[in-house]
């Protein structure tokens, strides 16, 4: 019986060796063999530990992750006694095409969804709307499965989640995922049963599905508010906004408006004429144009401060989404930012964070998924080289993560380089050198580079819908897969006579004991259950003196075999005829 060992999400190499009752040197050697350079005091994650235990072949040991009780509480910034009420930050989440962006459009009187490629949101976006004199901040999250990281990021930014579910379709995979993200973030969930204007909308069926996913409707004795709405007719929108305000009042959301601003980066991208641009959410203090901001390993003197709809701001308080320009580098989405007193301090803080990032990279925790790729690539037949360019940092992360998830033991995506912004001459040269294909997501190819790419035979493929890009890469990987070989036995013969043996040909005769003999075919010669020769080519069949295409069970047959060496064949040997065909494989 296997012994179960419970460990945390991360564990040091030394601690794991002790639990496994192994010499730490043996564990380090196994990690090294699989491409993981780790010392006794460095951490590995649970997935990596599980993989290594499997590689060590310890059937008597079973690893289990320690159960974490309760939702993962969000880290909230401390406030002073002078803190004042702030607008709630609301994430709008749900399955693709269930109407999240359409609902937001109806709330703020815009028509963003018409401009979305494929009709789906592909970026994390933030807006503010006013309801009965109260400001509300909304974050729109993508619904496609490839944007899981962005959705989780959106849930952790917020005070409240509005879960949009189409009442005519009910709960779907991304709905369930959104519920999990919201619960992990420890935020209140309000369910908007959208598309109630459709004839097959069924809110009672939806409530049943919600109850099965641990969201018991309040009118069924639970604490989850479910409101019928329609983005098309605007039915139920006032009630939805009233409920958002009510939840915000109950939560007594507060923040300090005085002092330097702090917050989080929602998105970042390159913009022609403006350079590096970030969308940020102010969480504490007041951000003003001209402030020196540190965001991870980069910094900026805020050159322009605007709302997400492009209106110029002099300053912005808590719960306000803003656009910032003037950044030295693109910050990662999810990076915290804070204001400092001078450019020198901003530069020093950014340099300090950059050094920490480099140090962490030199001795970082290896993830299980990365280790799987390292292990599998030792036996890879083919790698597909690509360069990825995207419009914003969040989308780039989603595309890269989705492509890496396509890796198998035989084929893998090798990302030669990736970045945010338009496709550059450097990208074309890099692709030409590495034999890569350039994939652009929501980004452009300057006309001046088209001729260069054609001259260097560099394929460039531009996409505005993520699943179309992923499907293209998937097809390319499938073309690299070795085809599946299907073998079918057609018949068997017992050797009764040998008429000719030479280095290139054997002519034998016998009785067909199974199925039927057909040509063309391959043959396998065996004696007393041991295979003597295989993949022999059957070139001719005879029934008596006549050439035939097939011979049935019970009949005598002569046949000719093409060989590369003189066969060792004797009476009583068994000859099995079979055909082979190849079938294209899919991922």
* CATH for 524: 2.40.30.10
Say if residue 388's pLDDT is above 70. yes
Does any domain span residue 79? no
pLDDT per residue over 22-69, tens digit each? Answer: 877 788 878 877 777 676 666 787 888 888 888 887 877 888 876 543
Say if residue 364's pLDDT is above 80. no
Overall pTM surpassing 0.75 (yes/no): no
- 162, 271, 454, 455 from 450: Cα distances, Å: 44, 21, 6, 9
Residues 280 and 379 in one domain: no
Residues 19 and 115 in one domain: no
**Mean pLDDT: which of 2-16, 83-97, 224-238 is highest?**
224-238
Residues 556 and 489 in one domain: yes
Query: By the 8 A CB rule, do 20 and 27 touch?
Result: yes
Does any domain span residue 109? yes
Does any domain span residue 72? no
Residues 536 and 561 in one domain: yes
Residues 399 and 293 in one domain: no
Q: What is the mean pLDDT of the chain?
A: 83
Residues 564 and 528 in one domain: yes
CA atoms within 13 A on the CB side of 430: 18
Does any domain span residue 529? yes
What domain range includes position 406? 374-480
Task: Pick the last residue of a domain from 200, 222, 252.
Answer: 252
Does any domain span residue 76? no
Say if residue 366's pLDDT is above 70. no
194 exposed, middle or buried (CB, 10 Å; 0-12, 13-18, 19+)? buried
Query: By the 8 A CB rule, do 47 and 368 touch?
Result: yes
Residue tagged 């959301």 (tokens): 253
Calpha distance 446→272 (Å, rounded): 12
User: What pLDDT is stored for residue 224 in this prediction?
Assistant: 92
Domain of residue 431, CATH code: 3.40.50.10050
User: What pLDDT is stored for residue 24 in this prediction?
Assistant: 76
Residues 514 and 466 in one domain: no
pLDDT per residue over 92-142, tens digit each? Answer: 888 766 677 788 888 876 444 344 443 444 456 788 888 888 999 988 776
Calpha distance 362→356 (Å, rounded): 10
User: What pLDDT is stored for residue 120 in this prediction?
Assistant: 40
Say if residue 305's pLDDT is above 90. yes
Percent of the chain past pLDDT 90, that is, above it, reads 37
Calpha distance 164→140 (Å, rounded): 11
Residues 342 and 408 in one domain: no
User: What pLDDT is stored for residue 145 in this prediction?
Assistant: 45
Q: How many CB atoms lie within 10 A of CB 212?
A: 10
Handedness of CA 331, 337, 342, 348 (dihedral sign): negative
Question: What is the total count of domains within the chain?
Answer: 5
> 136-150, 342-356, 437-451, 518-532: which has the minimum mean pLDDT?
136-150
User: What pLDDT is stored for residue 483 in this prediction?
Assistant: 84
Say if residue 374's pLDDT is above 70. no
């Amino acid at each position: 019986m296997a012994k179960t060992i419970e460990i945390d999400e991360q564990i040091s190499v030394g601690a794991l060796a002790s639990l496994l009752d192994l010499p730490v040197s043996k564990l380090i050697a196994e990690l090294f063999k699989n491409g993981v350079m780790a010392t006794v005091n460095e951490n590995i994650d649970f997935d990596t530990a599980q993989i290594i235990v499997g590689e060590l072949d310890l059937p008597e040991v079973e690893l289990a992750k320690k159960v974490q009780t309760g939702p993962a509480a969000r880290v909230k910034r401390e406030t002073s006694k002078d803190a004042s009420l702030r607008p709630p930050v609301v994430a709008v989440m749900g399955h693709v095409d269930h109407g999240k962006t359409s609902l937001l459009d109806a709330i703020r009187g815009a028509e963003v969804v018409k401009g979305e490629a494929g009709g789906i949101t592909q970026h994390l976006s933030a807006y503010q709307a006013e309801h009965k004199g109260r400001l509300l901040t909304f974050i729109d999250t993508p619904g496609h499965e490839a944007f899981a990281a962005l959705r989780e990021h959106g849930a952790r930014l917020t005070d409240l989640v509005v879960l949009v579910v189409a009442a005519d379709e009910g709960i779907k995979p991304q709905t369930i995922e959104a519920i999990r993200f919201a619960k992990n973030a420890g935020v209140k969930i309000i369910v908007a049963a959208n598309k109630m204007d459709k004839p097959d909308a069924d809110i009672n069926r939806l409530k049943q599905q919600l109850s099965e996913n641990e969201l018991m409707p309040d009118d069924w004795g639970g604490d989850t508010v479910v409101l019928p709405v329609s983005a098309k007719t605007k039915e139920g929108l006032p009630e939805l906004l009233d409920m958002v305000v009510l939840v915000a009042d109950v939560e007594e959301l507060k923040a300090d408006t005085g002092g330097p601003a702090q917050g989080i980066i929602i998105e970042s991208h390159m913009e022609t004429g403006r350079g590096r641009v970030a969308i940020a959410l102010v969480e504490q203090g007041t951000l003003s144009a001209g402030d020196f901001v540190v965001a991870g390993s980069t910094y900026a003197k805020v050159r322009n401060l605007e709302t997400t709809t492009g209106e110029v701001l002099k300053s912005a308080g808590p719960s306000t989404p803003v656009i910032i320009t003037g950044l030295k580098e693109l910050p990662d989405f999810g990076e915290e930012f804070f204001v400092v007193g001078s450019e020198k301090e901003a530069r020093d803080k950014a340099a300090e964070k950059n050094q920490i990032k480099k140090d962490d990279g030199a001795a970082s925790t290896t993830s299980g998924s990365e280790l799987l790729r390292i292990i599998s690539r030792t036996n890879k037949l083919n790698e597909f080289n690509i360069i990825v360019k995207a419009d914003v940092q969040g989308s780039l992360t989603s595309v890269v993560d989705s492509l890496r998830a396509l890796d198998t033991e035989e084929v893998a995506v090798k990302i030669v380089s990736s970045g945010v912004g338009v496709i550059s001459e450097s990208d074309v040269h890099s692709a030409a050198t590495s034999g890569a294909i350039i994939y652009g997501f929501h980004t452009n190819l300057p006309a001046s580079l088209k001729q260069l790419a054609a001259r260097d035979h560099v394929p460039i493929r531009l996409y505005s819908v993520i699943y179309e890009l992923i499907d293209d890469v998937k097809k390319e990987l499938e073309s690299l897969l070795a085809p599946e070989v299907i073998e079918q036995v057609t018949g068997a013969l017992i050797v009764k006579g040998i008429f000719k043996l030479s280095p290139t040909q054997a002519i034998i005769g016998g009785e067909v004991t199974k199925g039927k003999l057909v040509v063309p075919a391959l043959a396998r010669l065996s004696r007393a259950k041991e295979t003597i020769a295989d993949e022999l080519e059957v070139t001719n069949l005879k029934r008596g003196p006549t050439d035939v295409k097939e011979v049935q069970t019970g009949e005598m047959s002569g046949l000719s075999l093409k060989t590369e060496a003189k066969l060792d064949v004797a009476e009583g040997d068994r000859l099995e005829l079979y055909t082979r065909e190849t079938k294209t494989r899919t991922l």
